[in-house]
C-alpha cells in the first residue's frame, strides 16, 4: 500500500527553520501498526494522522518513531497549516479531537495556527543534581531560586531553568540518562530554558526527548504551553507579559524557530492557554508499507 505523506516545517521564523512534521490526510483506514510504521519510516519527531470524528471537526493522532503520544503542538500546527493550504479549512475556529481531549484551533487569515492547550497541571519537583548529571553541566548552572518541575498542558514535560544562554548552549546532553529520568517521572522529556535570548524573546529553549527517539527538537509546541504556565506561576513573567509570549528554539540545531504563546488570566489564575505558529516548506513524499 502506498501512502502520501505531506511534510511541513511548523513554527518557522521569517520563512526559515521550524520543526518538520509529517501529515497524512484521510487516515481512517490506516491501522495503528501501520501508523507506527509510517512514522518510523518518515523519521520526524512526530507524524500526524488526520481522521474523521463525530465529536469534533477533525481528529488527530500523533506518532513518534518510537510510539504514540496524546498531543503534539508542532504537528497540530503543521496539520492545520496543510489543511489551510490545501483548501479544506479557511480562516475560522475549529474543534479538534486528540487523545489529550477536545481542543480549539483557530486559523488566522495569514494562516497562522493558534491552538488551545489544557489548563496546567503541576507535578513533582526533581532534585537538580539528578538533572545536572544528565545534562553534563554543574548543578550551579541550574537556577537555584526556581524548581525543576514536571508540568503538563496536555503532555508532561520536565521544565529546567538555567542561568544563562551561554550555559544553555553549552549543554551536551547524556541522552541515555535523560531517557531514564524522563521514564522515572513519566515525562516526555526535558524542556530547558534561559531568559537570556538572541532576539528579545521571552525565553530561549532547548528540548530533549530521547525516550521517544527525539534527541533534540527544534520547536516544541506542547512544552511551550507548559513553560508559559511555569513562568507565570513562578513570577518570571507578569499578567501583562503573559498575553504575548515568544519562545525561540532550534538555534543550536541550525533551525531557528519561533513559538508564540498566550495565557488568559483571571484573579491570578490561568484560565486559558494558547500556542501558535506558522508552517512552511510544504512537500510530499510517497512511501510503501
- Using CB atoms within 10 Å of the CB of residue 139, give its burial: 0 to 12 exposed, 13 to 18 middle, 19+ buried: middle
What single DSSP character describes residue 118? Answer: P
Q: Is 46 a catalytic residue?
A: yes
Chain centroid to Cα 255, Å, comes to 15
Dig out the grid coordinates for 36 from the structure: 507506527
**CA-to-CA dists, residue 91 to 9, 83, 233, 246, angstroms:** 20, 11, 33, 23
Query: What number of other Cβ atoms are within 10 A of residue 175's Cβ?
Result: 17
Catalytic residue, from 46, 216, 217, 258: name it. 46
Three-class DSSP category at 252: helix
Using alpha carbons only, what angle is made at residue 279 by residues 274 and 284, rounded to the nearest 5 degrees?
Answer: 135
Paired strand residues for 13: 16
Determine contact, residues 77/52, Cβ cutoff 8 Å. Answer: no
Provide φ and ψ at 252, rounded to 5°.
-60, -30
Dig out the grid coordinates for 12 from the structure: 518557522
| CA–CA gap between residue 214 and residue 209 (Å, rounded) | 5
| CA–CA gap between residue 159 and residue 162 (Å, rounded) | 10
Paired strand residues for 284: 6
What single DSSP character describes residue 268? Answer: T
Helix locations, the chain, DSSP H:
32-42, 73-86, 128-135, 165-170, 175-184, 221-233
Annotated catalytic residues are 46
Amino acid at each position: 500500500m502506498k501512502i502520501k505523506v505531506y511534510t511541513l516545517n511548523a513554527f518557522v521564523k521569517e520563512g526559515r527553520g521550524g520543526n518538520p512534521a509529517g501529515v497524512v490526510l484521510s487516515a481512517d483506514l490506516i491501522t495503528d501498526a501501520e501508523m507506527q510504521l509510517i512514522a518510523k519510516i518518515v523519521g520526524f519527531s512526530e507524524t500526524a494522522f488526520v481522521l474523521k470524528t463525530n465529536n469534533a471537526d477533525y481528529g488527530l493522532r500523533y506518532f513518534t518513531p518510537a510510539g504514540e503520544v496524546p498531543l503534539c503542538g508542532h504537528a497540530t500546527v503543521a496539520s492545520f497549516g496543510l489543511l489551510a493550504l490545501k483548501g479544506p479549512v479557511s480562516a475560522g475556529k475549529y474543534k479538534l479531537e486528540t487523545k489529550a481531549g477536545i481542543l480549539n484551533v483557530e486559523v488566522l487569515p495569514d494562516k497562522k495556527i493558534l491552538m488551545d492547550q489544557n489548563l496546567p497541571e503541576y507535578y513533582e519537583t526533581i532534585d537538580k543534581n539528578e538533572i545536572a548529571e544528565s545534562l553534563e553541566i554543574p548543578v550551579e548552572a541550574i537556577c537555584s531560586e526556581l524548581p525543576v518541575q514536571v508540568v503538563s498542558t496536555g503532555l508532561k514535560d520536565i521544565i529546567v531553568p538555567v542561568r544563562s544562554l551561554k550555559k544553555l548552549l553549552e549543554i551536551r546532553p547524556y541522552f541515555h540518562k535523560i531517557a531514564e529520568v524522563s521514564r522515572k517521572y513519566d515525562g516526555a522529556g526535558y524542556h530547558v530554558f534561559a531568559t537570556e535570548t538572541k532576539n528579545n524573546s521571552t525565553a530561549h529553549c532547548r528540548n530533549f526527548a530521547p525516550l521517544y527517539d527525539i534527541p533534540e527538537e527544534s520547536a516544541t509546541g506542547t512544552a511551550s504551553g507548559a513553560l508559559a504556565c511555569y513562568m507565570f506561576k513562578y513570577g518570571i513573567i507578569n499578567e501583562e507579559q503573559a498575553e504575548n509570549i515568544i519562545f525561540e528554539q532550534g538555534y543550536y540545531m541550525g533551525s531557528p524557530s519561533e513559538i508564540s504563546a498566550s495565557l488568559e488570566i483571571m484573579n491570578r489564575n490561568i484560565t486559558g492557554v494558547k500556542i501558535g505558529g506558522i508552517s512552511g516548506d510544504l512537500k510530499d513524499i510517497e512511501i510503501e508499507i
